[in-house]
Each structure stands twice: as C-alpha cells, then as structure tokens.
Amino acid sequence: MTTLESRVDIPEIPQQATTYTMAQALTAALRDAMAADERVLMFGEDVGALGGVFRVTDGLTRTFGENRCFDTPLAEAGIVGMAVGMAMNGFRPVVEMQFDAFAYPALEQIISHVAKMRNRTRGRVGLPMVIRVPYAGGIGGVEHHCDSSEAYFAHTAGLTVVSPATPADAYSLLRESIEYPDPVIFLEPKRLYWNKAELQLPLRTEPLGRAVIRRPGTDVTLIAYGPTVPHALDAAAAAEQEGRSVEVIDLRSLVPFDDATVTASVRRTGRAVVVAEAAGFASVASEVVARVTEQCFHSLEAPVRRVTGFDIPYPPPKSEHHHLPSVDRILDVVEELQW
C-alpha cells in the first residue's frame, strides 16, 4: 500500500498510569491503532470535528487528518457498505453507528455481506472491520437510543460480537478487534462510558473470546456482560452480607462464547443466574441458559435463571428503572435457587 498523505507525528501515549473513563480508553485505543497501522480508518456520523456524540473519536481527525477519520453522509447502510468496499481494498475500517437503534438501517449490509463475505467467496475475501455500536440503556435516553441489539448480531453466523465492561477491556478488546481478521460488532455499553479506571497504556487484558471471573465465589455464579456487570458485582457484594458467596463472570465476548470458563464455574457452584438488559425472549441470555443447562445439568442444584429486561419495547426514560435488571431483582432470584 502506498503511504497516505495524512501521515503525521503521533504524540506518545503517556506511559505512567492515568485515569481514563471507558470513553477515553476507547479513544486511546483508536488513536494507538491508527498510529500503529495506517490501514486503520475511522468514519461515521459526527465522528470528525465533533469527535462523536460520546466524544469517542475526539481529536482523531485533528491528529490523523480527514483521510483517516471522517464524517459521512447520514446513512448507516451507506457507512457499513462503504466499509465493506474499503476492507476489500486493503483497509481496516472502524465505523461508528451513533446509537444502537440507528444501526438497524445497516442490518442488510451487516447480515448479508459483512457476516458472509468470507464464506461467500470461499475464504478468498476476508473483511477485517469493526462496527462500533453504543448500546443499551440506563442513561435516560428517549426512544430508539437505548436498545440492547446484541441478539440480532449474535444470531448471525460470521460475526464476532464483543462488549467490554471495564475501561481496560474497552481499550484492549478494541485494539484486538481492529487487529482481528474477521468483522467484529463492538458493543459499547453507554451507561459505562463514564466509569473510570487507572490505566497504564498500551495494555492488553485477556484475549478476545475469553470470559473472566470478576469476583470469585462458591455458592452461585452470576453471568453478566457489558452494562450489567457492575450490577452483578453489586449484587454479589450485597449477597455476601447475607452469607452467600457469589461468583461473577464477565463474558466480554458473546461470540465466540467461552463455554469452558462458564461451565467450570457453574459445575463448581451448582447454581447460575444470567443477568442481561436485553428482553429475555430468544435472547443471548436464553442461549447462555441453554448451554449451561446442557453442559452442567448433573451439577445443578436449581434451575438456571435469568434476570433480564421485560419483553417490551425499551421504556421511556422516566420508567426505565422499572425495566432494567436491578440489584434487588438479582438478589430475589438468587434467593429462589432452592437453597
């Protein structure tokens, strides 16, 4: 590939530990990826001068120029379809869908082309691209801004679907997604964008595809991902007061799914509850329950349960707290596990 005109001096990332929000960690990941590989491009709606509505692309156009981080016309199928063509021609595009529900116009491109190109072409054309989707609720957003859309993507063969729950994972999983040979749907939990951590960058956490135990325990396993991981941890802390030792697993990657970590935990504890924001019917949570039941049946002391959003359209902001899985709701279900 010929050198791009926009190549400029990239300021060094500070090596000492610094406080990053998840949004800032994502920005740092994009910046470091673009500095490391000139094939990496970032584009979408409002990602240029504005830096994205959540400021995740802040400063990228200023640093790398308009050829490498640019605004597009407002059309999501156009953004994703264009990324397909650019990936076919040697680039590694990262695109931003401004909000979860605004990615729906791009679903045909994602399902019929992004997910299938390698397979359609018998392995001849891979699409190394990342579709970043700020998703889920809890931020008081009005309708169409708070959907948990992960099941649509997770159901589609050919896609890799990840969702970080910590600033460190946000950085590491995004870097790894950009380096990945296949398309990745990168789901960013909006309500965690402002969560902070001390990070020394660049860093790498556990590899993509691996779930991690965020809190060890012996009595029951809470399985969460993305926006519900903090709730699961809070519930575990509260349960400890009541004398229950609760293990919390952060899936990190929905596809591929880390059966080994999840089943090893549930076989040890004998009880499991899946905690997710999305409506429960035909959901990722359903899939987790099915897998755990199939693989851990003889170790189970109680049915595997779910705490999920209701099977309703995402509520208006004043009512969303009734819909979202809460610590109390998690604790109530834990209590029902046939102790």
Selected binder of another protein within 83, 101, 232, 274 (CB under 8 A): 83
Of 70, 20, 250, 52, the closest CA to residue 132 belongs to 52
Q: Give yes or no for residue 107 binding another protein (CB under 8 A).
A: no
CB of 182 to another protein, least distance (A): 5
At position 257, the amino acid (one-letter code) is F
Buried b (16+ CB within 10 A) or exposed e, 257-281: bbeebbbebbbebbbbbbbbbbbbe
Active-site residue identified among 113, 144, 145, 322: 145
Q: Which of residues 249-288 bind another protein (CB under 8 A)?
A: 256
H or E element at residue 64: helix 60-64
H or E element at residue 213: strand 212-215
Active site residue 145: yes
Nearer to another protein, 123 or 243 (CB): 123
Q: Give yes or no for residue 158 binding another protein (CB under 8 A).
A: yes
Nearer to another protein, 85 or 140 (CB): 85
Q: Which sign does the torsion angle of CA 231, 232, 237, 240 carry?
A: positive
DSSP sequence for 112-176? IIITTHHHHTTTS-----EEEEEE---S---TTSS---HHHHHTSTT-EEE---SHHHHHHHHHH
Q: Give yes or no for residue 160 binding another protein (CB under 8 A).
A: yes
Nearer to another protein, 107 or 203 (CB): 107
Strands 305-309 and 272-279, bridge-based pairing: parallel
Question: Are 149 and 191 within 8 A, CB to CB?
Answer: no
Selected binder of another protein within 123, 243, 298, 338 (CB under 8 A): 123
Q: How many residues does the chain have?
A: 339
Q: Give yes or no for residue 124 binding another protein (CB under 8 A).
A: yes
The contact pattern for another protein, residues 33-72, with x = CB under 8 A and - = no contact, is ----------------------------------x----x
Selected binder of another protein within 55, 63, 105, 202 (CB under 8 A): 105
Selected binder of another protein within 82, 212, 238, 302 (CB under 8 A): 82
Q: Which two tokens stand for residue 48?
A: 């240029």
Q: Give yes or no for residue 2 binding another protein (CB under 8 A).
A: yes
Contacts with another protein by CB under 8 A: the residue count is 44
Active site residues: 145
Q: Which residues bind another protein (CB under 8 A)?
A: 1-2, 4, 67, 72-73, 75, 77-78, 80-91, 93, 105, 108-109, 112-113, 116-126, 157-158, 160, 181-182, 256
